[in-house]
Structure 1
């Protein structure tokens, strides 16, 4: 499973990195980002999905089977 953030849609609410800090980070302006290649480590899938569901702009996409 991988996650991706559409930087054009992200408004910097920070819910993703508050909910799943092991999956998401923030840039210098407070916008969410995905460190590394976006792969979600085993055991962090639940938090990643919760962060995706909590994004008000729906800026996060999950890619399954990667």
Structure 2
């Protein structure tokens, strides 16, 4: 995250970029399962959550770097 802008990368490939300050994000958020989560998408620092969406998942060699 850099301000309201964020990117998701997987294996060196950018798979998603987003801006939290757009009508598109606001619309998607209102339709999402997270709409009733107080404070969702409001904090710019915090915990990283790895989810499995009820399927088997394996993680190996996860690296997290602080952005400069």
TM-score normalised over the length of structure 2: 0.25
Greater gyration radius: 2
Greater RCO, CA 8 A, separation 6+: 1
Q: Please, what TM-score do these two structures have when normalized by structure 1? A: 0.25
As a proportion of its length, which structure holds more helix? Answer: 1
